[in-house]
Chains A and B, each alone.
Chain A
Amino acid sequence: MILNFAKNWLQDPTRITSQIAKYLKASKVFDVEEIEFDKNDEFFGEGDFNEAVFILLEGTVQLSKKTPNGRNITVDWLRPGALVGLISFVTGEPVLTTAVAASPCRAIKMKEKDFLELQRSRDEVALLAQQLIIGNLIDRYHHVVSVHVELESINETLEKERNHLSQALKQLEETQHRLISQEKMATLGQLVAGIAHEINNPAAAMLRASENLVEFLPDIIRQASPGQDEEYDKFFRLGLRRVLRDSEEQRRILKEWETAYPKFPRSLLRKVTSMSDEALEIVKEQLGEKPDDSKRSELDKMILFYESGYFLKNLQSSTKRIGEIVSSLKSYSRQDKGKYEKADLRDGLNDTLLLLSNRLKKVDVILNFSEIPPIDIITGEVNQVWTNLIINACDAMQDRGEIVISCGYDERYVWVSIKDNGPGIPSSVIGEIFKPNFTTKHKNTSFGLGLGLSISQQIIQKHGGKIRVKNAEEGGAEFKVFLPL
C-alpha cells in the first residue's frame, strides 16, 4: 500500500488535491488563499525567487524557458492536481521556468510555513501531501524520460534528413555541372553555326571566283598572246589537272633534269618536272639538246601558265574543303534543339570524324559501316556522344593507334560500335565510368569535368537506347551504343 501510494495521485491527481483543498479550507490552522488566474496571467517568472507553491485545482499551466538564443520554448504543461513552483520552493533557488496560465486557472497558494505544517500534520492529509509531492516528482521524471526518448527520435530524424539533404546537394551539384556543360555545348553550337554561316559566304564567293577564273583565263590568254595561245592554254590546263607522282620518283626525275640542264634554276625545274611524263617529253623536245636563253624564257612563260593552273586548282580544292568543313559544322551543331528527326547515324559519324580530323591525324580510323535504316534522333545530341566516345578513345591511346567504327542493326536497335586498341579500361573502374565526375585524365582535358560519358549515357537513355562498354579480347575498349528503331 505504501509502495503504491504515489500511484493514487498519478491515476487521479484531482481527487487528492481536492481532498487536500477541502481540508485546508476547513482547517483554521492554515492561512491559504485560493487564487483565480485569467488566461496568460503569470504565476511566477523565470529567475524569480519563489516564496509560495501553488496547488493547481483547475486549468492548465504552461512552463516555458528562454533559450541562450533568446527564444521561448515550452518545457511542460501542468494539469489540475499538479504543484506549480515545487522545485524552486523546495530548493530555494531561482525559478527555472516561467509559469503562465494557458487557460483560466484556479489554484491554492501556500506559503512555506503552511506547506511544512501540512506535511507534519498528524491527520491523513499528511499522507495525501506526500502523495502529492512524490507524485508530482514522478510525473516530472516521467516527462524527462519521455523528452529524452523524443529527443533521440528527433535526432534520428534530423540525421536522416541531413543525409538526405547532403545527397540532394550532391545531386544538385551534379545536375548543375551537367547543365553547365550542356549549356556550354549549346552555346558552342550556336557559336559554331554562326561562324559556319559567316564563313560560308566568303567561301562560296571564293569558289565561284576560282571557277570563273578557270573559265576566263583561256580567253585572256587567247587575247593576250594570239598565235601561242594554244600552247599556253595547254600548260594552264596541265597545271589545273596536275597529279603528283610518288615523291621519291619525283626527286629522281628532278635530279635527272638538274644534271641535264645545269643552267636552269632549280625552282623552274621543280615545276617542270612535276608535270606528267607525257608533258615532259614535249618540253624536252622543245628545249632540244642545248637550249639557249630564248628557249629558257619561253619555258619560263609556259611554266607561269602551268603554275597558274595548279594554284587555281589549289584554290579550288582548298575552298571546297572549307565548304565541306562548314557544312559538317552546320549539320554537326544543328540548332533544332530537342527536335527528333529521321537521320542516318552514319552521316553524323562522318561529320564528327571530319571535324575531329586534326585530332585523328595520327590515328587510323577504320570504318566498317553496314547499311542501317534511318531512325528518329536529335542529331546534335547524338553527335555529341560520338565526339565524346572518339575523343575518349584518342585520349586512351594517347593519339596513336587504331579506332574501328562499325554499325549494324537487329529487330530492336541500330547499334554503333567504337573500338580502340588502347590499354582498355581497368576492371576496377569499369563499373564507374558512367558516373558523373569520373575521369582518368588529369591534364590536357578539353572539358575536364569528367562528364563526357555521363552525359553521353544520359543522351542515349533519353533516346530510349543504351551504352555498353567492355574490354575487347584483343585489347582496347569497345563502346557500343544502341538506339531504338
Chain B
Amino acid sequence: MAETMNAPGPEIVCENLAKRFGHGPTLVEAVAPLSLRFAAGRMTALVGPSGCGKSTLLRMVAGLDSPSDGTILLGGATPEALQREGAMAMAFQDASLLPWRSVRGNIALARKLARLPADPQAVARMIDRVGLAGFEDARPAELSGGMRQRVAIARCLVTNPRVLLLDEPFGAVDELTRARLNAELPPLWQATGTTCLMVTHSVPEAVALADRVVVLSSRPAQVAGDIAIPAEARSDKAARLALVEQVSAALAQGWDEAGSAERLAAQ
C-alpha cells in the first residue's frame, strides 16, 4: 500500500506557556508557566485531574486557543502555519461529525478542508482500515458511539497529518469498546512518524499507547511527573503494571485535593 507520506512529524516545543481566562476577581489561571518538549514522531500522553488545563494545553498546541504568555513552535513553525499547511489533525471527545454528511462525506471533507486533492480511493481505504467497510453511506446518527469515534479517527488520518492531537477520543465510549479501539486504531498512526499528543483520563490507556506520559498537577497545570514508557513494557505485563503504579502515584501527588475543593466552593 503506497501512501503518499508527508514529512515526518515535528518536535513540539512549548516555552513558558501560560493561559489565563477572565480578569479581575474572575481570573482563572488554567496553565501556569510551563516549558515542555514533545519528541518528533513519538506519542506523548497528558494525564491529570479534571479541569487541570490539559485540554487547554492541547488546544493551544492546535492553535485553537492562543497562549496568554509564552510560545509554541512545532518544528520551528507556529501552530497557525501548520494549520495552513493542512498538517494538523484533531479528534475530540465527542466525535463531532457533521450529522448531514455520510461516513464517506465526513472523511472526505477533511481532505477538502486541508486543500488536498479529492481521493475517493484513499477515503475508501481509510474506511476499510478503521473497520467500517459497508457503512460508507451511513449517517452519524445511525452509528454507535464507538463507530463514530472510528470515523473521527479516519477523518484525522486521511490527510496524513504531521501532528495528531487526541482530546480524550475514547472517553465517551464503554470500557470494552475502548479496549478494542485502543488495540485497533493506534497502529494506524504509530508507524507513520506522526507526532502525537493525547489527553486522557485513563492511566492504563496512557501507559499502553504512549512512549511517554506527562502527569499534570491540579490547576494551574504544572508538571507533576514525566515518565518514559520503554518499548519493552508493551509486551511485559509486570513492567506495564509497575508503570501504571508510578503514573498513578505522580497523579495522586499532583492532585491537590484541598485546593480543588476550595476552587469548587468558589465556583
Asked if A pairs with B, the answer is no
Listed in ascending order, the chain A residues whose CB lies under 8 Å from chain B are none
Listed in ascending order, the chain B residues whose CB lies under 8 Å from chain A are none
